[in-house]
């Protein structure tokens, strides 16, 4: 079993979290606390190497939390089965982001100060990842790799080069979605998007690309999370004579929006993005109602050896791979952090950060999922390695960004079906 500690549900520790938050605020949030120093010292002597995972076990993105954790656990199991990191067991400490910014910050601080993690995987939502990177990980020199945050804002973020991601920016997904929408001969679309960095960045990217390809956006309106009604926003968009509604959001509130759009007769055709690619949406709305609805999501080329190895391993551990994004990217983020620690030879944050591009980027001995022992031997022999992941080639640029391909997916007979995986036209 993977060494995983889920602490966020231990309410008896809530007071400690609040106390720590107050202490950090009093210090301006820029200097390590006594607990930080003790955790750093302890990490060098403890029997495990501890990573943190910021995941939405509750909230709007809950549908993706458990499956992302499966990807992380797979990587940890692979690594520990072949000797661990630096000869120690790799462990994961999970913090629930609740798909909200402040709980994400609190969880990240606790992972670092009390759990002694040396690097963090996550968060999923860009609106959670960005504040964590700006206020916690970059100031505590903790490397952070998000497996799902796609906002273009991340590219230029002031994170002291401690934030990376294993998914391409929505600057590319916007182009991909516009390309597919025009290929489906859609000419007029309305857009409703979640009012955070992810939603706004993708909406703006999509609008620019769709209009550049001859389409018309009849209206574009943000929505707030956890509202009982979105009828006002939908009524406003319905006045624009759009053929379909493009929904950029997450399942929990996205389902409410879809139900109200259908109940009030505002829209009956829909275009989606990665955040709505979940079977839970079909279950809630109905297969017949959503028949033919389509969208895009980051997706690796499925015929690669790395992807096929990953799928086989997932099926052996958990059963059929669900049609949700960010499982493979979570696996890859975990592998890359572990490889960087092995390359650095220690758990110093700056050393791990500096080693990330060395293990991810060409040139070097090619390694992928299931190749932990091969990678460790190559590093021990002084060789460079080039990790090619389940989610594709991961070449970090100066901003910690990667390129990638996208899936055109469609809902057919109640199932999410991949039509093609493609690289968007520039």
How far apart are alpha carbons 345 and 347 in whole angstroms? 7
334-387 tens-digit pLDDT: 999 999 999 999 999 999 999 999 999 999 999 999 999 999 999 999 999 999
Mean pLDDT of 195-214: 97
Do residues 208 and 174 lie in contact, with contact meaning Cβ atoms separated by under 8 Å?
Answer: yes
Peptide bond before residue 123 is cis, with ω within 30 degrees of 0: yes
Domains for the chain: give ranges and CATH numbers.
3-167 (3.40.50.2300), 170-300+405-422 (3.40.50.2300)
How far apart are alpha carbons 102 and 122 in whole angstroms? 15
Mean pLDDT of 202-219: 98
Torsion of CA 128, 144, 247, 253, to 10 degrees: -40
How far apart are alpha carbons 407 and 230 in whole angstroms? 29
Quote the pLDDT of residue 46. Answer: 77
How far, in Å, are 104, 126, 148, 314 from residue 91 at the CA level? 20, 25, 21, 19
- 84 Cβ neighbours under 8 A, 6+ residues apart: 49, 90
How far apart are alpha carbons 270 and 258 in whole angstroms? 9
Quote the pLDDT of residue 36. Answer: 46
Mean pLDDT of 393-399: 97
Helix 372-380 to helix 327-344 angle, to the nearest 10 degrees?
Answer: 20
Quote the pLDDT of residue 103. Answer: 98
Mean pLDDT of 37-48: 61
Mean pLDDT of 240-264: 97
User: Looking at the whole model, is its pTM more than 0.85?
Assistant: yes
With cut-offs at 50, 70 and 90, classify the pLDDT of residue 42: low
How far apart are alpha carbons 302 and 420 in whole angstroms? 10
273-286 tens-digit pLDDT: 999 999 999 999 99
Do residues 189 and 213 lie in contact, with contact meaning Cβ atoms separated by under 8 Å?
Answer: no
Quote the pLDDT of residue 21. Answer: 36
298-324 tens-digit pLDDT: 999 999 999 999 999 999 999 999 999
Name the more confident of 29 and 82.
82
How far, in Å, are 62, 77, 327, 331, 406 from residue 312 at the CA level? 25, 14, 13, 13, 21
With cut-offs at 50, 70 and 90, classify the pLDDT of residue 9: very low
With cut-offs at 50, 70 and 90, classify the pLDDT of residue 425: confident
- 340 Cβ neighbours under 8 A, 6+ residues apart: 119, 143, 352, 353, 355, 356, 358, 359
How far apart are alpha carbons 285 and 25 in whole angstroms? 44
127-181 tens-digit pLDDT: 999 999 999 999 999 999 999 999 999 999 999 999 999 999 999 999 999 999 9
Mean pLDDT of 184-200: 97
* φ/ψ bin of 189: left (φ > 0), alpha (ψ from -120 to 50), beta (otherwise): beta
């Amino acid at each position: 079993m993977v060494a995983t500690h889920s602490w966020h549900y231990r309410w008896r520790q809530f007071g400690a979290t609040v106390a720590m938050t107050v202490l950090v605020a009093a210090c301006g949030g820029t200097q390590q606390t006594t607990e930080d120093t003790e955790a750093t010292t302890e990490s060098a002597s403890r029997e495990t190497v501890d990573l943190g995972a910021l995941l939405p076990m509750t909230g709007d993105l809950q549908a993706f939390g458990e499956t992302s954790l499966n990807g992380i656990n797979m990587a940890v199991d692979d690594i520990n089965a072949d000797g661990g990191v630096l000869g120690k067991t790799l462990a994961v400490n999970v913090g629930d982001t609740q798909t909200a910014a402040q709980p994400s910050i609190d969880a990240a601080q606790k992972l670092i100060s009390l759990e002694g993690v040396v690097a963090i995987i996550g968060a999923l939502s860009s609106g959670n990842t960005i504040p964590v990177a700006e206020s916690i990980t970059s100031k505590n020199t903790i490397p952070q790799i998000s497996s799902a945050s796609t906002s273009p804002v991340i590219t230029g973020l002031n994170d002291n080069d401690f934030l990376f991601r294993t998914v391409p920016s929505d600057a590319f997904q916007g182009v991909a979605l516009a390309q597919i929408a025009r290929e489906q001969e859609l000419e007029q679309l309305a857009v409703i998007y979640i009012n955070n960095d992810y939603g706004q960045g993708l909406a703006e990217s999509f609008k620019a690309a769709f209009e550049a390809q001859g389409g018309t956006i009849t209206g574009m309106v943000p929505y707030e999370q956890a509202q009982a009604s979105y009828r006002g926003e939908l009524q406003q968009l319905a006045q624009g004579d759009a053929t379909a509604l493009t929904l950029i959001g997450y399942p929990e509130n996205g389902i409410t929006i879809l139900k109200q759009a259908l109940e009030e007769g505002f829209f009956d055709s829909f275009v989606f993005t990665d955040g709505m690619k979940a079977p839970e949406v079909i279950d809630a709305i109905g297969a017949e109602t959503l028949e033919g609805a389509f969208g895009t999501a980051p997706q690796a080329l499925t015929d690669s050896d790395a992807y096929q190895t990953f799928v086989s391993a997932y099926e052996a551990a958990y059963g059929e791979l669900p049609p949700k994004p960010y499982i493979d990217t979570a696996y890859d983020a975990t592998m890359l952090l572990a490889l960087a620690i092995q390359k650095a030879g220690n758990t110093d944050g700056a050393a791990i950060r500096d080693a990330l591009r060395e293990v991810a980027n060409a040139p070097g001995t090619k390694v992928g999922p299931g190749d932990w022992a091969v990678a460790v031997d190559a590093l021990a022999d002084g060789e460079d390695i080039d990790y090619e992941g389940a989610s594709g080639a991961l070449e970090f640029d100066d901003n910690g960004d990667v390129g990638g391909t996208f899936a055109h997916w469609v809902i057919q007979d109640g199932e999410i079906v991949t039509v093609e995986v493609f690289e968007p036209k520039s």
